Amino acid sequence: MLPSDTSLRGGAEGSLVARVFITGSSDGLGLMAGRLLAGQRHAAVLHARNSSRAEDARAALPEAAGVVTGDLSSLAGMRQVAEQADAVFGSGPFDAIIHNAGVGHRDQPHRVATEDGLARVFAVNVLAPYLLTALMKRPQRLVYLSSGLHRDADASLADPQWEQRPWDGFGAYSESKLLDVVLTFAVARRWPDVRCNGVEPGWVATKMGGASATDDLSLAPVTQAWLAVSDDPAAAGTGGYFFHQQPQPVHPAARDVTFQDELLAYCARLSGTDLPT
């Protein structure tokens, strides 16, 4: 069910206002999460891919504390977003960051290469949350969006850019969502002082999900907002994975420490940036 005033209210330090950055929030679930947070008097900072979409975001949520602009499909854009976001409040980190931005399989009928030569679905869905996590001032809470489809993905880093395999947009998306869960647990393990959790919002009728989606759209943004700011004891842990505020099983490979370290090392090589210890 939707959170009450008290279940979202209370920042990461128990204060009334939490500062929350949400990637990919000019529309869809990111914007919906921003509305939930702003409605509870939290300072929600949105993110848009370009200036036109940034204007759309400002018009859609005038209460937003700011809008950051940058294309998360490129390494340069990722760095731009990290720098802009860290500068929004002048000093100190966000209380929470929600890594919501993503590319769906419907957007990828064939392999699309970024300016860095990476598969776009990997760059946006996996490398961007990794690099933003590595570059930005460390918040008290991190939330990574995944999908229930991650449970059916192949757990391998043999060809994450789909350069050797025939392109399969659905498979590439599912793999990226598995790697998001792996990243979630890897960061939770490396940074025990940060509450770091993963979320699956369900199959909902957004642009990414499509009109035939069957899950409840009104519930889809609730869990990420709850994990970002709630004082509810169920939201206060780390290394969890949730659907509708309830813990969920994950692909067994997501808990494999060796696989976690392999993903961190791979992302560090691609980006030239290690996750700080």
Question: Residue 260: CB partners within 8 Å, gap ≥ 6?
Answer: 182, 183, 185, 186, 189
For 60, the 3-state DSSP assignment is helix
Tokens coding 164: 């050797």
> Rounded to an integer, what distance in angstroms lies between the CA atom of residue 197 and that of residue 225?
12
> Rounded to an integer, what distance in angstroms lies between the CA atom of residue 51 and that of residue 59?
12
Is 177 known to be catalytic?
yes
Candidates 173, 207, 241, 266; catalytic one: 173
Residue 20 region by backbone torsions, left for phi larger than 0, else alpha for psi between -120 and 50, else beta: beta
Is 173 known to be catalytic?
yes
Candidates 177, 207, 241, 266; catalytic one: 177
Place of tokens 């005038």: 62
In what helix (H) or strand (E) does residue 19 lie, and over which residues does it extend? Answer: strand 19-22
Q: What's the start-to-end Cα distance of the chain, in Å?
A: 37
Tokens coding 203: 């199959």
Question: Residue 242: CB partners within 8 Å, gap ≥ 6?
Answer: 197, 198, 199, 200, 223, 227, 248
Q: How many CB atoms lie within 10 A of CB 212?
A: 7
> Rounded to an integer, what distance in angstroms lies between the CA atom of residue 196 and that of residue 184?
6
Residues taking part in catalysis: 173, 177
